[in-house]
Amino acid sequence: MTEETFPEIREAVRKLCARFPGSYWRELDRDRAYPTEFVGALTEAGFLSVLIPEEYGGSGLGLKAAVAILEEVHRSGCNGAACHAQMYTMGTVLKHGSEAQKQAYLPGIASGELRLQAFGVTEPDAGTDTTRITTFARKVGDKYVVNGRKIWISRAEHSDLMVLLCRTTPRDEAKKPSDGMSVLLVDLRQAVGNGLTIRPVRTMLNHATTELFFEDLEVPAENLIGQEGQGFRYILDGMNAERILIASECLGDARFFIDRASHYAKERTVFGRPIGENQGVQFPLARAYVQMTQASLMVDHAASLFEAGQPCGTEANMAKLVASEASWYAADMCLQTHGGFGFAEEYDIERKFRETRLYQVAPISTNLILSHVATHVLGQPKSF
């Protein structure tokens, strides 16, 4: 492979992750518990604030540094999904918030005093068709009154703040479907029990996801980010960073599976020789490495465009697609290489197998990415 980017950062992340071995994650997985100690260690080390400018207490590094951090977290067998939103969700405030909002929130997010990890977009009846969300914020004097429902909102129980997308103009009254949506910064510490109810949703992996119910939740009007009615555009900005960073996690997962399978294939002896001598074992390993390398180049390209301030929606989507497919192929190959032992909890393969499968569905499904490429790149007619 080509020389590692940010070698010092990667080495520091590896050392930190070594303090949280598979046994730590297996115990959390059984109880569906949040990795508080791990998140605290990443925060204290400054890894979650790398994208926040120095004037607000962060490192002021580019997206590629964040890519390196999350890739190493996942290659080490840990799971960055518990806190990765702390990296990219703040971008909505950084890019579109007022100076007063930046001063009020970004230093606390950088230090870890405030957790901004919840991203309230998806709704049960809208899914990925974001323009059809119905959660509504009605302006009443110096506040917004919010009513509605959200689902698949991860980390809401472990976050102090949430970026919430809601309608401020009904869809049928807006000039176009993507108009009339606004972004509010919700203080969850005050909201829970005062108009917001959080219900955990148990899933096949430990992802701390929830369903949210809003009943006359009052949010100060000063918590509106940017201009009313322009929220959809603000959210799209953050989604590009999200998809590139999740792609980096998939790269880390792929490397984890390839590392584990390669080692096992050299050590496991059957019929008097290492199973890695068989091409039936070698070739899937080699193919996984090729796919992972291809995906790595695509992620790097998308991150370069993002850092340069260039349009990168298509590239971010493609990076997420190829990286998630590379990680899933590597996961399947690794499980096959380990045979029955791959299903044993102590090997950590089955846990990571479940975790990496998520990313062909979230935060956007593979088919919707293909639809985007077909219509926006190839000029095909929209199918919906």
**Residue 2, pLDDT score:** 54
Alpha-helical (H) ranges within the chain are 7-17, 22-31, 36-44, 63-75, 85-88, 90-96, 99-111, 188-191, 231-267, 279-307, 313-338, 349-357, 366-376
Q: Which of 65, 84, 87 lies closest to 10, judged by CA?
A: 65
Choice between 2 and 282, residue whose per-residue pLDDT is larger: 282
Residues 261-304 pLDDT 10s: 999 999 999 999 999 999 999 999 999 999 999 999 999 999 99
**Residue 87, pLDDT score:** 94
Q: For the whole model, what pTM was predicted?
A: 0.96
Q: Which of 247, 240, 329 lies closest to 287, judged by CA?
A: 329
**Residue 238, pLDDT score:** 85
Residues 84-94 pLDDT 10s: 999 999 999 99
Say which residues have a Cβ less than 8 Å from residue 188's Cβ, sequence separation at least 6: 118, 156, 159, 160, 161, 162, 196
Statement: residue 127 has pLDDT above 90: no
Say which residues have a Cβ less than 8 Å from residue 292's Cβ, sequence separation at least 6: 251, 254, 255, 258, 326, 327, 330
Q: What is the rounded average pLDDT for all residues in the chain?
A: 96
> What percentage of the chain exceeds 70 in pLDDT?
99
Q: Which of 3, 9, 71 lies closest to 303, judged by CA?
A: 71
Please give the C-alpha separations between residue 157 and each of 5, 124, 197, 228, in angstroms, as whole numbers. 34, 19, 10, 27
